[in-house]
Amino acid sequence: MNRNASAIPRIPELNKRLLFTAVVLIIYRFGVFVPIPGIDPEQILRLFQQTASGTIFDILNLFSGGALERASVFALGVMPYITSSIIMSLLVKAFPTLEAMQKEGEAGRRKINQYSRYGTVLICVVQGFMLAITLEGGLGQGATVVQETGWTFRIMTVLTLTAGSLFVMWLGEQITERGIGNGISLIIAGSILVSIPGALWDIVRLIGTGELTVFGVVLIFALLIAIVAFIVFVERSYRKIPVQYPRRVVGRKVYGGQSSHLPLKTNTAGVIPPIFASSLLIFPATILTFVTVPFLRDLSDLLFENMIMYNILFASLIIFFAYFYTAVIYNPDDLADNLRKNGGFVPGIRPGKKTAEYIDKILGRITFIGAIYVAFVCVIPTFLQREPFNLPFYFGGTSLLIVVGVTLDFVQQIESFLITHSYEGFVKKGGMKGPRRYNV
C-alpha cells in the first residue's frame, strides 16, 4: 500500500472490521496475563525460563504469546484446535462417510467443524491434566507453585484451560466472520509479534555486556532482511497455466475468444504446514514428558532433545502437510471439469482427463518447490544458532514465515475487500497497489 493508504480507515465497513479485529486481539492479549487460580505466576515464570527454555515447549509458549510460561488461562492457546482439525482432516480422507459428508456443502462442513470442536475438548482435557500435574510438581524442580494440591486443583485447572482454549478458538472464528483475515492465523501471528520487543532488548543487553558486537547485530539484521525478502518473493510467485476460450457467435454478437491463465502459487499451502507440523509435534511431546517407560523416554530424548533429529522430523512433517493441504484445497479433476464446462481449454492439452493430469503434474512440481522452501525457511535459523555460527538469532524461521505470510494475506484481504465493495476507482487512481507477483 502506498501514500494514500490512510484513506482506508475512512471506509465505514472496513473501518468497523479492522476495529473489531484489533479489539479481539487486545482481549486475547489481556487474557494471557490472567493466571490459573491457586498458583504463583512469578515463580512459574522463573522456573519455566530455567527448565523449558530451548525445548519444544518454547514453540507452544511462542504461539500462545507467553501464556504458557505465565500459566495463563490461555496457556494451551489454539494448538489443541489445530491438532484436532489435522486429525479430522486425516479422518475425512480415510473414511468415505466423512468425505461424503464434507461434500454435502455448508451443512456437511459445519458437521465436520463440530466434530473438530469435540476433539478440541478431548485434547484440552488431556493436555490440561498433564499441565496440572506438572504445576503440582513445580515443573520438575520441586518448588511450591500450587497453594493447594489435589484433585480439586486438577479438575479446576482442566476446566479453566479447556474453557480458555475454546474461548480463544471462538475469538478466532469471530475475527474470520466479522473481522479481516483468518482469525486463528492472526492470533498466532500476534502472539509471535509481542515477543519482538523482548528479543530487541536482549540484543541491546548483549551489546552492553560485550557478548555481541555491532558487526554481529548488523549481520543478524542483514540475514533477517534477506530471509524476509526471500519469503515475500516466493509467497508472491506463481505459475501461470494458459487457458484459451473459443469464440461463440450468438446472433450478431461474438462472445469469448480471449486468453486467460490459471494461477497456481508456488507455496500453495501457505503457512499451514509449519503450524500443523508444530501442533502435531507438541501433542506427543506433552505426553512423552510424563511417561516413565525407558524406551519411550529414550525416544522422546532422541526426537525432541536432539536438534538434528528434531529438525529432520519437523522438516519431514512440513513437506508432508504441504502435499496434504494442497491435495485438500486443489482438486485437478474439479479444475479441469470447470474449465470444460466454461468452454476453456489448455492449448495443446485435450480437455477432461488429460487436462486434469496436466494440472496435477504442474501442481506436484510447484508443491515440491514450495514444500522445500517452507522447510528450509523454518529450519535454517536453528542452525545459525549452533556451531560454528553461534548467532543469537531470536527470530525463528517458523515465526518469520507465519508473520510475513499472515501479513501478506491480511493486506490481500483488505485489497479484496475494496475491490468487492466497488472501490475499483480508488485502486486504479493509485490509492492502493495490487500485490506484486513473480512468474516462475
pLDDT value of residue 10: 65
Q: Where do the structural domains in the chain lie, given as residue ranges? A: 1-194
pLDDT value of residue 37: 85
- Residues of the chain with pLDDT > 70: what percent? 78
Is pLDDT of 26 > 80? Answer: yes
| Domain at 1-194: CATH architecture | Orthogonal Bundle (1.10)
pLDDT in tens, 232-252: 898 888 888 888 877 666 666
pLDDT value of residue 49: 67
Instruction: Answer yes or no: are the C-beta atoms of 169 and 176 closer than 8 Å.
Output: no
pLDDT in tens, 322-339: 998 888 888 888 888 888
Sign, CA torsion 49/202/72/68 = negative
Instruction: Answer yes or no: are the C-beta atoms of 261 and 241 closer than 8 Å.
Output: yes
pLDDT in tens, 424-436: 454 445 555 555 5
Between the CA of residue 301 and those of 141, 180, 278, 309, 379, what are the distances in Å?
A: 19, 41, 17, 10, 19
pLDDT in tens, 141-164: 566 677 777 888 889 989 999 999
pLDDT in tens, 29-70: 998 888 888 887 777 777 776 665 555 566 677 777 778 778
In the structure grid, which three cell numbers stand for residue 367, read together?
A: 508443491
Is pLDDT of 121 > 90? Answer: yes
| Distance between CA atoms of residues 136 and 225, nearest Å | 43
Cβ-proximal residues to 258 (8 Å cutoff; 6+ apart), any chain? 245
Angle between helices 272-289 and 353-384 (to 10 degrees): 60
Cβ-proximal residues to 231 (8 Å cutoff; 6+ apart), any chain? 377, 400, 401, 404, 405
Instruction: Answer yes or no: are the C-beta atoms of 200 and 38 closer than 8 Å.
Output: no
pLDDT in tens, 73-111: 898 888 888 888 888 888 887 788 888 887 777 788 888
**Higher per-residue confidence, 109 vs 382:** 109
Other beta carbons within 10 Å of 435: 11
